[in-house]
Structure formats: structure tokens, C-alpha cells
Structure 1
Amino acid sequence: MRTGATAQEVARLAKVSQSAVSRTFTPGASVSDATRERVVAAAKTLGYRPNALARSLITRRSHIVALVMGYLQNQFYPLVIQQLSQSLQREGYHVLMFISDESETDNALAEILQYQVDAIVIASAMLSKNLAQQCVDSGVPVVLFNRLPDVDTTRPHTISVSSDNYEGGQLAARHLVARGHQRIAFLAGLENSSTSVERERGFVDGLRVLGQSVWKRAVGHYSFERAQAATEELFQGPRLPDALFAANDHMAIAAMDVLRHQLGLRVPQDVSVVGFDDVPQAAWGSYQLTTVVQDVPAMVEATVTLLKERMDNTAPVRSIVIGCRLVERGSVRPALAAAPLRAIGRRKTNASPAA
């Protein structure tokens, strides 16, 4: 065993061509089982390790996909990172992740492109005109994950994968009205986020069709702490909302903590709560959150498919919308329990919140 062996030495020992060695260590390349066995055995004997950087100079493909994230506080995005990374690895690609807030996304682009990435996935971050145009000029396809491009920033290489957020908002509206609620509040995410905008639009339209409108509205900025403050804002005054739809589970969980522990309200007896995403924490016993499910596996599969199509130039630019469904748990009152909100003080420090 020794280190520093070359592909030529492996080829000589295995009695195959150097291109056969290259194909053996290239994911998805065509090579017979017999050849693969001889090459792998020779590489093990010589201690050979393929040089991905050297191969990228020859193929002009780095097999690296950059993933740009704006924040990781929302439990939905760690799921995305895990499943997207695993799916790309099975296809022979690797993820290079960049964390950047909205104001720094364009600054990070220059660094991203220095790595000769084959494609970029942008999740929980915004795509500016400048960033979109630079990617087009560099020939690097971009996929917006769980985002829709604005009309002004759409470019030929910009494609997207998203849930049907509008339909998800309608599902939440229909479910709460069917359970007898009449004073329904909405907790928005970011005002300029397509996910929050579409969820609210669907929610408002869904209520209107059923003869209702949003009782109160506040903005939680997709932040746990700001969602808590927004919940306190919504539940001020003599008449309180009897239901709350939050633009994601992260904020819904923050709202439930405030309702129970700070305001002394019961969920769902006093206030029903619906979220959006179906993160693992939504099913925890303390929350049992009714929520709109984003199908992460389907979204990831669609993202990888679009990336491969664009990198191989085998299909035109297109976007994919994945359907949603609502999962019922214990945070919304049963249909037959549509009793009026009980009289209760705004704060009960000695209250025992419901599980």
C-alpha cells in the first residue's frame, strides 16, 4: 500500500485503458462489472484516490451545486438540506452551502462562482436582478427552491420548485370555517416573500368564498421571537380571535407558546391554530399542530430533475408546483365543539396550559 498513485498506474495494473479508470470513478458512467472490479481492486492495491479537482479541469464540470440559504432558524430547511444533499450525492453531485442574509446574497455570488459550480439552488433567500443576470452571463442555471421569481427578476436560466402555497392557504381557510370559526387571524411571514404572499392570498380568497374575511393580521417575519410579539399584538382588545393561521409552523409553534403560557388561553378550546410546512416538531405531543404539508421529498426530486435538465441542456426552462394537503392533529377544535370563546383574562401567570 502506498499513496500518490496515478490513474495511469491503476490502468496498467488492471490491464485496462486510462479512460476505463476514469469511467469507473465517474458516477453514472458506463463501465462493465468485470472492468469495474479489476479497476477497484487495482486502486485498492495502489492506494489510489480519484482527484475530483483534476477531473473537473478536464470535463469542465465541478459536480458541485451551491446551496444558498438565508436562514436556518425554520426547522423546515434543515430537512431540505439533508434530503437535497443526499439526493444530489446519489446523482454524483455535492453540495457547497452558503449562508447569507438578503443584503449579502449578491456579495456571496462572486465567491460562489469562483468554485466553478455547475448550478445554484437558492432557498430562504431572495434573487435580485443583479444576481440573476450574473448567473445567466456565467451559464450557471439557478433553481429557486420554495420561492417564485418576481416578474422583474425572471431570467432565461431561472427556474423554480415550490409548493402550491395558494391552495395551501385555501385549505387552511376551509378547514377553520368548517370548524365554526368566525374571528380568524393571520400571522404573515415576510412581506416580500412569495411563500407568505401566496399563502395569504389563498387564505383571504378562501375565506371570501365562504363569506368571511381576515379578522386581524400581524407580521411575524418568519422569526420565532417576532412571531411571539406579533401574537401578543393580535390577542389584544376585548374581542379576541378564535382561530389563527400562521404562514409557517415555526411561527405557529411560537404563537402556541404565547397563547398558552403568557395569555392563559387553551389550544384548541379557546383558540384553534393552523400552521404550514409540517416540520417534525409539529407532531410533538406538546403541540399536535394541524398544518398544511409541504411534500419535501417530491420538491427535492423535482429540484434535482430540473437541475440535471438544465445542466445537460436537455429541456427548456420550466417551473414545477407541488400540491399540498392538510394534516389534522389536535390544535383545531372538533367540528361539534364550536362553543363561544370563554371569558378569560389576558394574562394568567398561574394557568396550566393544555397539552
Structure 2
Amino acid sequence: MPRRDTDQPGARVPRPPTIADVAAAAGVSRSAVSRSFTEGASAAPGTRAKVLAAAASLGYRPSAIARSLTTRRSHLVAVSTVRLENGFNASLLQALALGLDAIGLRTLLFPIAGTSADADPSLDEILRHRVDAVALLATRLSSRFSAQCASAGVPVVLINRTARDGATSSVTGDNVGGARRIAEFLVAGGHRRFAFLAGVEDSSNSRDRERGFADALREAGGPAPLRAAGRFDRVASSKAVRRMLAAPEPPDALFCANDHMALAAIDVARREFNLAVGHQISIVGFDDAPTAALSGIDLTSFSQPPEAMAGRAVAALAAVLADPARPAVHETVAGELVVRGSARLPAAGLATTTDGRRLWVGGAVSSFRAP
């Protein structure tokens, strides 16, 4: 195969075309080229057509970095998250990236090492990329990180979390309402010994789900649930479930604060305690991640639709970028309790959708019946 000119020793590598080359080829000024590639800038249709034709013939692509220096906008959103092994987080991240792309924003991913949702992403690294905004996905917003972003003029939106002070925009699922529905479903199924597997202690999601679950059980006249923390981690969850099931009076109904921990709970119950999940013990999760519907898992779970949550988050980001003084918004996305084989079925209160899903549609929390 003959060598190309650029393969020869000492051969020059062709330089990429510049804005000056395009201007010369189109017979216009450099500023006219810049305006032709800047959204919303004033450029005559004929001039723009000549510039685009010249750019296409030369193979010119405008520099995003140079454009950001001119417009003071990079069109980049930093997204920081943990636990991408959690199928729901991965689905939410994908939906968010696609939603941002649809409005001309690009995603820069800043994963937080390890499994701690308490750790902050590196703000220095984020700001080095001149991002327009930050989205924290399933991670806690510390006061330090919030203050640093505010000082730098970079807006933040929380997804699948909330901030205690309410000053930062957030999008979550129906944590309290979903947990209440899980409680009423388990009470209606005739369960008597309840347990809750919490996530990270300072997680707003876990805190709200635990509150909704415990309040609904108390209102139904039931006992307070046994409690352990799985820290949203599979190994920690397995240990916690192992301790609960080895107790003198183990639970016959276990609500896990997310599906990732519920999968660990199912595995421990089946493999180590030989329990018939869905009969001897009911296990319910939260998220309705893609793995929940797999036949070998068949997990009952309260859904958090990732597309809807991502859509609300994208809208919140677009709004704050258009008006930095806009007050914080707090969006709650409705979900459904999808009933599968991991939980005992109540005698009534179920409905089947046109796509074959079985949902819990029972009304107020049923009265608890002690043995």
C-alpha cells in the first residue's frame, strides 16, 4: 500500500481551516462568519448561506471554546452522580443527557468516587470547564458546595434529592406519598411485622420514604417498623437484611428505600433463609428500575419515571439559565405502585393496565389486624 504524503518523514500535517479561511472563501468579514454561526445573531440570509457553503467546502467547524468566550456561555451542564451500578440512576442520567441535548446543552459527567452520597464533586474541576450550570443527581448538596456555586454564579438543580433550606431547585419522585401507598398495600396484604431498610442517613429521599411509611403504619394502628440501614449499597444491605431476618421475630414485610437494596434483600431471603419471597415474606422497593421487571426478580416497586423527572429537571435548568434571579422551584413527579411477584397480593384494591402491569389502587390505609 503506497504511503500517503503525510506518512512521509518530515511531511506537514494539514492545519484545520480557520475562521479567516472561511471569510476569505466567502468574501465576507470574520465578524460576518462569527455572526453566521452564532444562534440569534444578526446575519443577512445571503451572507449566512455563503458562509455555510464556504465552511462546508473547507470542512470548517466552529470552535465551541472560542464561541463560549464570545457569548459567555459554554452550553455545558456538569452532572455529578454516584452509584451508576444502580439501574435507576443510570436510566435517569441517560434521560437527563438526552433532554439537555434536545435544547442544545451538552453533559459533562463528574462521577463521585466510592459509594458516599455525602461527598461533593470537585468544584474546581467543574469550573475549569466553564459550565453554565450543575445538576446533582442522587447526591446531597452540602452548604459548602452550595455557597461556592453561588459565589461563582453557577446555578444548581438537585435531581432525586432535596436541600434542607429549600433554596435550591429540585425534582424528586413522590417519596412520602409512594411510601404511604406501600404501607397501605402491605397492611392490606395481611402483614403483621414490618421493616424498613434505610439508605444513607442524611439522604432526603430515604428520610422522606421512611417518614411516609412509618406514619401510614401508625395511622392504620400497626406497629413501628423494625429499622436497619443499607446505605444504598448492596453489601451493606445484605448484612442489614441478614441481621433482621435472623431476629427472634423477623419481619414478614420489608420495604427497601430503593430497588438496588431490594435486590440484595431478595437474594439474602431466598439463598440464606430459604424464604419464599412473595409468600413467607414480601419485599418491596422504590424506583421501579429496569431490573425490577426481570422474571427472576419480579420486584414490587413504586415507580419514579426517569423521563418525566429528567424533563422537569431540564425545564428547571433552562428557566434558571434564562433568568438567574428566578426563585427556586420544587417539582414532585407522580408515580405508581407496580405490583409483581415479590409481594403477597391483597384480596382487593388491584387493577391491571392496558399494557399488562398490575397496580395498587386501594384507597385509604386499611386497618391493621393483629393476630
For the criterion TM > 0.5, the same-fold answer is yes
**Distance 1:22-1:306 versus aligned 2 partners, 3 A rule:** farther
323-332 vs 281-290, greater mean Cα deviation: 323-332
Shift of 1:324: 2.1
Unaligned regions of 5+ residues in structure 2, if any?
1-13, 349-371
In structure 2, the residue matched to 1:192 is 202
Instruction: Give CA deviations for 1:42-92 in whole Å, capped at 9, x if unaligned.
Output: 322101011000000101111111111133232211112211111111211
Partners of 1:304 and 1:116 in 2: CA distance = 19
Does residue 285 (structure 1) correspond to residue 299 (structure 2)? The answer is no
Does residue 232 (structure 1) correspond to residue 242 (structure 2)? The answer is yes
Shift of 1:39: 4.4
Q: 8 Å contact 2:196–2:228 — kept in the other structure?
A: yes
Partners of 1:242 and 1:70 in 2: CA distance = 31
In structure 2, the residue matched to 1:175 is 185
In structure 2, the residue matched to 1:10 is 22
227-236 vs 208-217, greater mean Cα deviation: 208-217
Q: 8 Å contact 1:249–1:278 — kept in the other structure?
A: yes
In structure 1, the residue matched to 2:70 is 58
In structure 2, the residue matched to 1:248 is 258
**Distance 1:25-1:75 versus aligned 2 partners, 3 A rule:** farther
In structure 2, the residue matched to 1:326 is 337
Shift of 1:35: 7.1
Q: Which amino acid aligns with 1:251?
A: M
* TM-score normalised per structure 1: 0.85
**Distance 1:79-1:29 versus aligned 2 partners, 3 A rule:** farther
Q: 8 Å contact 1:28–1:92 — kept in the other structure?
A: no
Identity %: 44
2:129 to 90, 106, 115: 115
**Distance 1:32-1:174 versus aligned 2 partners, 3 A rule:** farther
Shift of 1:321: 1.4
1:270 to 275, 280, 284: 280
In structure 2, the residue matched to 1:67 is 79
Instruction: Give CA deviations for 1:1-36 in whole Å, capped at 9, x if unaligned.
Output: x75223354355456775665466456879899877
Number of residue pairs the alignment of both structures matches: 332
1:220 to 219, 230, 233: 230
RMSD: 2.5
- Which secondary structure does the structure 2 equivalent of 1:245 belong to? strand
Instruction: Give CA deviations for 1:107-139 in whole Å, capped at 9, x if unaligned.
Output: 711221122110001123221111111111111
- Which secondary structure does the structure 2 equivalent of 1:95 belong to? strand
In structure 2, the residue matched to 1:49 is 61
In structure 2, the residue matched to 1:133 is 147
Partners of 1:31 and 1:205 in 2: CA distance = 62
* TM-score normalised per structure 2: 0.82
In structure 2, the residue matched to 1:342 is none
**Distance 1:246-1:257 versus aligned 2 partners, 3 A rule:** same
**Distance 1:34-1:225 versus aligned 2 partners, 3 A rule:** farther
Does residue 205 (structure 1) correspond to residue 215 (structure 2)? The answer is yes
